[in-house]
Structure 1
Amino acid sequence: MKREDEDEKETKPSELLDSLPIELKMDILTRLPAKSLMKFRYVSKMWSSFIRSQELINSFSSKSSTQTRFILALSNDGNFSEPEGNLSFYFSFSDDAEESSCLVPNLEMAMPVISNHISGSCTSVHGILAVIHSFQLILCNPSTEQVIKLTPGYAGFVGYDPINDQHKVLSLLNQFSDDPVEHKVLTLGVGGGWRRIQGLNQFYTAVSMGVCINGFVFYGAYSPTPPSNPGIVCFDVRFERLSYIKAPEILVHYGNASIFIEYKGKLASIVRDPFGYFNEFDLWILEDVERHNWSKQTCVFPFSVWDSLGVMKMCIPGTNKADEIIMAPKSLSHKVQPFYIFYYNVETRNIRRVRLLGIGDNEEFRTCYELNYRSNVNIATHHFESIAFLQGSSYHMRESKTLLVFFYIQQTSYFCYSMTFCLYCMCFVLFIS
């Protein structure tokens, strides 16, 4: 009886965190990987409630946003004969290794795609991936394992309001008809569905992908009909207002091949001939939003840089932490060989290459999933782990169950012991520091 009473008095692993002060719990949990926190939700209802609290979500994002990485999406895109075999693989790579010659991938998730050979895009907006594939907008968070598909016809641009901590989707309707463009906005996580907002006092057609910078979404446009009055549409995510910024015609000359990125906190455009040899590009930077002033400089590098690639079609998804411009092949090479990305420093005019291990040089991986020269490559820059949940069923959305792939499998007993040991160690370190 005495032994049974002692056993009952022993602290259960799930009660350890519950007994700690809230500040200490917050400090402990924000030091853990996001996917570990997702597993901890199943310890108890109290743990689940705390992990899903807005206070912890915000605190976790504040820390993880300083440790950005980039996401590489690799798709077999219709190479498989069976539809269920068509997948997009999402790998993350460190953004801190400025002098590294190679980077090790972390497989975040794999997601089914439609097999029609239509390449898409992938961007990261404050921890949420916005994927466009087959003209459909898909929002996903690899950390929470959520994938949400917006109903076709409601695709558009994704932005983030840092003041109110909200993700919003801007949708454009009727832009290819004679009627005025209709703008609708969807705020994620609050319900209410789509709502109309005041549009511009002019007709226009969006011709490029969007980029979100400091609470504003920018995308290229023609108004009223090409090639008249080219410019940039600016969407204020917080106040849901639209404005038109004048821009040189060359910035949107190549239509959906136009490139807009964030460069040192400003909107920038990479202008190059998408059909010619790639050994230079013009970097246009929006220096003054109010006065519509742009600066331009030409960046040149030797053709020999691409000798080892096996492909010549390149994408420019953005920059890294050091403001180096990232360049990468748009597809895998015909033969099994190393896959490289390139970093260009505008100020020093130096270019360096970094090998991504396991992407193009793993014959078993390529053969198993039928990855070849038609396999599309998309890169999302400035991504970080987020435990924010994409909630709401009234958004005209469909939630898709994803096929999640991990490099290791944790057994239940191992998970419990690791969790308890981790918490004890972290508590000890925090108390003595």
Structure 2
Amino acid sequence: MTTAAFYKMNMKSSRKVTSIPQEIIFEIFSLLPVKSLMRFRCISKVYNSLVSETDFVSIHQSRSMTRIGGIKLLAREREGFYTIEQNEDGEASLLHIEYLDVLDDYIGSRNLFECVNGLFCFSTWHQPAIIINPSTREIRFLPKIDVNRYCYCSLGYEPEEKIYKVLYTRFEAFESHARNWIFTLGMDKSWREIESFFLFPRLNEGVCINGVIYMLDSFYQRKRIVAFDVKAESFRTITLPCALPDGVDSYHPHGVDSCHLIEVKGKLSVLENMTDENFNLWILGNGQLQIWERDTITSSPGLPRMNFCSHTYDGEIIFVAEVEGDKFTYFSYDITTKSWRKCEVQGSQREYSIKGIYRCVENLYPLEKCLVNAR
């Protein structure tokens, strides 16, 4: 049989194949990992359109939270970014994320690195904000604004309209207020200035929960949280259940390890480091009345000194022990069962220091929609 005859026969048989309904393709694709879906995008315009569709991206991201392999751990060290790969025996190792080496010039002590739905916002006090999607391996530099020393960015997600916004705050010299701008991913081509708000120097990374970005304010007797509504683009304040310690460098985002804002099962929480072995966990039970509920986390006997460096997912908090040799150890604390789980990670180096561990859920959100800014 000639090649032409073989091709003609296959063309006839292909017409007889019943096409798969779009609804079934949608269901099957929503259960696949991002790596497979990125390949399907190259097959046809129909698949490419489906994978990029807003509702599909949202449903796939939601199902990735419960799919095996849908959530990975990403570690940030002083010298770069790594994924933590764990096998069935509980052993884990660090794998260097080479494509993020482009950010080496941005990594330093004065920066913020926030995670929302698997997307990351990386910002320093003197560089434009950077949005990273580790699932699709995309990096976008947002437009630069004239900055002075005191500025920072936060990433927020608005669940009703399914959009991401970056909040940019800049301190005004010799003033008691800060100026604020918004950049909506996939929509804005430049920053939009919104209402001014009082001066609130940040401490550590913020956290976005149900469309609200929460940030620690080191002023006002060190007892205030600033909340930014992503949809309404407005601010309000919440009183902390505990006071931050004295002697904190107000303009240093990593100036204190004693308090961290985290999410616990959909609620704003404050993790307060009391001693090397004890932590207070304050959970905001009623946001309108600002009623806080306290729980105590006590380390098990024999556990080393630990530092908190992770947001939570599904009721677990990650703590990291000091680096020993070529490995470091992290412990997961289950809030419901009040139990600890240990994991040793190979591949670290003594001179490195773990800046944070993040649970990264797979997300198809296409950063190609974002405006690329020349560096």
TM-score class, shorter:
0.7 to 0.9
Deviation string 1:173-215 (CA, Å, 9 cap, x unpaired) is 1256415211111110112421122244x44333332101111
Deviation string 1:378-419 (CA, Å, 9 cap, x unpaired) is 2113x3111111144657x348xxxxxxxxxxxxxxxxxxxx
Query: 2:221 is paired with a residue of what secondary structure?
Result: coil
Report how many residues are paired. Answer: 356
1:61 CA drift (Å): 2.2
1:172 CA drift (Å): 0.7
Q: Would you say 1:385 and 2:362 are equivalent positions?
A: yes
Correspondence for 1:343: 332
Query: 1:163 is paired with a residue of what secondary structure?
Result: coil
Q: Would you say 1:161 and 2:151 are equivalent positions?
A: no
CA contact under 8 A between 1:89 and 1:107: conserved in structure 2?
Answer: yes
CA distance in 1, matches of 2:76, 2:292: 34
1:234 CA drift (Å): 0.7
Deviation string 1:211-270 (CA, Å, 9 cap, x unpaired) is 011111101114xxx453731111111221211112245247656423110112211111
Structure-2 change in CA distance of 1:17 and 1:117 (3 Å): farther
1:110 CA drift (Å): 4.0
Q: Structure 2 stretches of 5 or more lacking a match?
A: none
Worse-matched range after superposition: 181-190 or 132-141: 132-141
Structural mapping, 1:52-201, within 5 Å: 52-67=52-67, 69-75=71-77, 77=79, 87-91=80-84, 101-103=90-92, 110-112=99-101, 113-114=104-105, 117-118=108-109, 120=111, 122-132=113-123, 136=127, 137-150=129-142, 151=144, 153=147, 155-174=152-171, 177-200=174-197
Aligned mate of 2:236, from 238, 243, 247:
243
CA distance in 1, matches of 2:210, 2:158: 8
CA contact under 8 A between 2:117 and 2:361: conserved in structure 1?
Answer: yes
1:373 CA drift (Å): 2.5
Q: CA RMSD in A?
A: 3.5
Deviation string 1:133-156 (CA, Å, 9 cap, x unpaired) is 676542111222111233374741
CA distance in 2, matches of 1:193, 1:238: 18
Q: Would you say 1:270 and 2:247 are equivalent positions?
A: no
CA distance in 1, matches of 2:306, 2:156: 28
Q: Structure 1 stretches of 5 or more lacking a match?
A: 78-86, 307-311, 361-370, 400-433
Residue type at the aligned position of 1:379: I
Structure-2 change in CA distance of 1:16 and 1:394 (3 Å): farther
Residue type at the aligned position of 2:122: V
Correspondence for 1:295: 293
CA distance in 2, matches of 1:219, 1:158: 11
Deviation string 1:77-122 (CA, Å, 9 cap, x unpaired) is 2xxxxxxxxx42344669xx9xx74457777664111277537554
Deviation string 1:60-85 (CA, Å, 9 cap, x unpaired) is 223223335242224352xxxxxxxx
Deviation string 1:26-65 (CA, Å, 9 cap, x unpaired) is 2232232201221232334444334323343233223223
CA contact under 8 A between 2:74 and 2:81: conserved in structure 1?
Answer: no
Residue type at the aligned position of 1:259: H
Query: 2:293 is paired with a residue of what secondary structure?
Result: strand
CA distance in 2, matches of 1:11, 1:140: 43
CA distance in 1, matches of 2:356, 2:16: 43
CA distance in 2, matches of 1:324, 1:359: 24
CA distance in 1, matches of 2:363, 2:306: 32
Aligned mate of 1:355, from 340, 344, 355:
344
Residue type at the aligned position of 2:332: Y
Q: Would you say 1:211 and 2:200 are equivalent positions?
A: no
Query: 2:276 is paired with a residue of what secondary structure?
Result: coil
Correspondence for 1:26: 26
Structural mapping, 1:248-267, within 5 Å: 248-251=241-244, 254=248, 256=254, 257=256, 258-267=259-268
Correspondence for 1:365: none
CA contact under 8 A between 2:120 and 2:132: conserved in structure 1?
Answer: yes
CA distance in 1, matches of 2:77, 2:186: 29
Structure-2 change in CA distance of 1:175 and 1:212 (3 Å): farther
CA contact under 8 A between 1:231 and 1:249: conserved in structure 2?
Answer: no
TM-score using structure 1 length: 0.71
CA distance in 2, matches of 1:351, 1:2: 67
Greater share of residues in strand: 2
Q: Would you say 1:233 and 2:230 are equivalent positions?
A: no
Correspondence for 1:372: 350
Structure-2 change in CA distance of 1:183 and 1:354 (3 Å): same
